[in-house]
Amino acid sequence: MRNIAALIAGAMFGAGLLISGMTNTKKVQGWLDVFGDWDPTLAFVMGGAIIPMAIAWRITEGRKPALGGAFPEKPNPVLGRKLVIGSVMFGAGWGLVGLCPGPALASITFGGVGGFVFLLAMLAGMLMAPPLRAKLD
Amino acid sequence: MNQDWLMGLIGGGLIGTSAAIFLLVNGKVMGASGLIGGLVDKSGLGNWQERAFWIAGLVVAPALMTLMFGLKPTNVTGNIPVIIVAGLLVGIGTRIANGCTSGHGVCGISRMSLRGIVATVFYIGAGGLTMIIFKHVLGVI
């Protein structure tokens, strides 16, 4: 059951990324390009995504997940340099090409050579991250 | 309303609903970088099946949709060195920050997590700055 739910969630996520235009790097870079031809679409995507998720977090209060276990606890509001350095690195890469991890995978069957190379580099980066993360502790 | 904005809102609703299903049924935060990265660095092999099924859905659904309704352009740059640098930055950065647009953005902001909000401010800020420097000043993207 966990796997079926994960498959459905993954499929809906992928469909949502495609429909919303987030697999189109031009739209993502358009959102970040405040001094160019600014495209506010990403704000509508974020808004549309945050509403059902905010309701979901409300539902979790005092309950347990449908398939058992426990809901993730709210992380301590500790910011730290890992959060800041990592987010700045991520944002820079996101701006350069216009892909983040979800859309990079969602578009792999139609993103051409560039999309494939990006995914490989991203996976390599994920493999390189743990020792770098340990150094920042 | 602009057609693209409407599609953004509808697609965003699907994204949020998918994250809500993953949270309410499986009891987990649906963060793309964490779900993928946990398999890559082997820190998340404990629930590898759940992760693999999620990734399968994420890849297959858009593939089928583009087969049925036609290809959607991704407009990825042809500049391979830029792509490699960007991919490495996204991979390393999201794993150091422990989240990306889905985990920190969608799932974090919706529960008013300070970490999620701060991460989102920094990655959008860095993305905007990157556009200024590399597009408008240097003209390389």
CB nearest B18 (choices: A12, A44, A126): A12
- CB distance B30 to B23 below 8 Å: yes
Inter-CA distances, B78 with A24, A25, A87, A111, B56, Å:
14, 12, 25, 11, 27
pLDDT over 90, % of chain B? 96
- C-alpha–C-alpha distance, residues B25 and A121, integer Å: 32
Give A105-115 pLDDT, tens digit per residue.
999 999 999 99
- Looking up tokens 């059951």 gives A1
Chain centroid to Cα A61, Å, comes to 24
Give B25-78 pLDDT, tens digit per residue.
999 999 999 999 999 999 999 999 999 999 999 999 999 999 999 888 999 999
Q: Give the residue-averaged pLDDT of B68-94.
A: 96
Best of A96, A117, A137 to substitute, by most chain B Cβ atoms within 10 angstroms, is A96
Q: Give the residue-averaged pLDDT of A76-80.
A: 88
> A23 and B107 in contact by Cβ < 8 A?
no
Give A63-75 pLDDT, tens digit per residue.
999 999 999 998 8
- C-alpha–C-alpha distance, residues A14 and B37, integer Å: 17
At A106 the pLDDT is: 98
pLDDT, mean over chain B? 97
- What is the token pair recorded at A3? 């796997």
Residue boundaries of the structural domains of chain B? 76-141
